Amino acid sequence: MSSHDLARLLAPRLPEARKNALRAAEYISLVFHEDRAALLDDTLLAGALELSAPVLRDALVHLESEGYLALVLSWRCPSGRGTIQESREISCFPLVSDCDRCGDVHEFDVRDVTVSFEATREMLALIDG
């Protein structure tokens, strides 16, 4: 029942909506049932659902605009050593940071920031039915 509500929200953003919206909703529900603090992103969903990342990107951004998902921003080490910092607000990132991953000092660059999504209370309420 809960996945159907989520599927209805996703349907306008996905091709072959009837099939894919329910699959996507079931997968998202499963992820958040297993770990309520899990992070979703377009590549993770694209791999699991065999849909293109841009399509899933639109679906996730839509859910975020409706208040069911919240942004988590990750400042990635430009040397490819992982995440330097995570934040919900981009203004919380310093303009310069010592990187505990590679030992260098990095200047903030928007190109090093990736976006993922966590469930809001509304999403958890929706998938809990």
Q: Which of 115, 118, 120, 122 binds another protein (CB under 8 A)?
A: 115
Only segment of 3-11, 21-29, 37-45, 80-88 that touches another protein (CB under 8 A): 37-45
What's the CA gap between 116 and 52, in Å, rounded? 16
110 is a contact residue toward another protein (CB under 8 A): yes
Q: Which residues contact 95 (CB under 8 A, 6 or more apart)?
A: 107, 108
State the SS3 of 18-53.
HHHHHHHHHHHHHHHHHCCCCCECHHHHHHHHCCCH
Write the interaction track for another protein spanning residues 44-83; mark x where CB under 8 A is met and - where it is not. ---------xx--xx-xxx--x------------------
Q: Return the residues of window 78-107 that contact another protein according to CB under 8 A.
A: 90-91, 93, 95
34 is a contact residue toward another protein (CB under 8 A): no
DSSP letter (8 states) at residue 94? -
What's the CA gap between 54 and 105, in Å, rounded? 33
113 is a contact residue toward another protein (CB under 8 A): yes
Q: Which residues bind another protein (CB under 8 A)?
A: 41-43, 53-54, 57-58, 60-62, 65, 90-91, 93, 95, 108, 110-111, 113-115
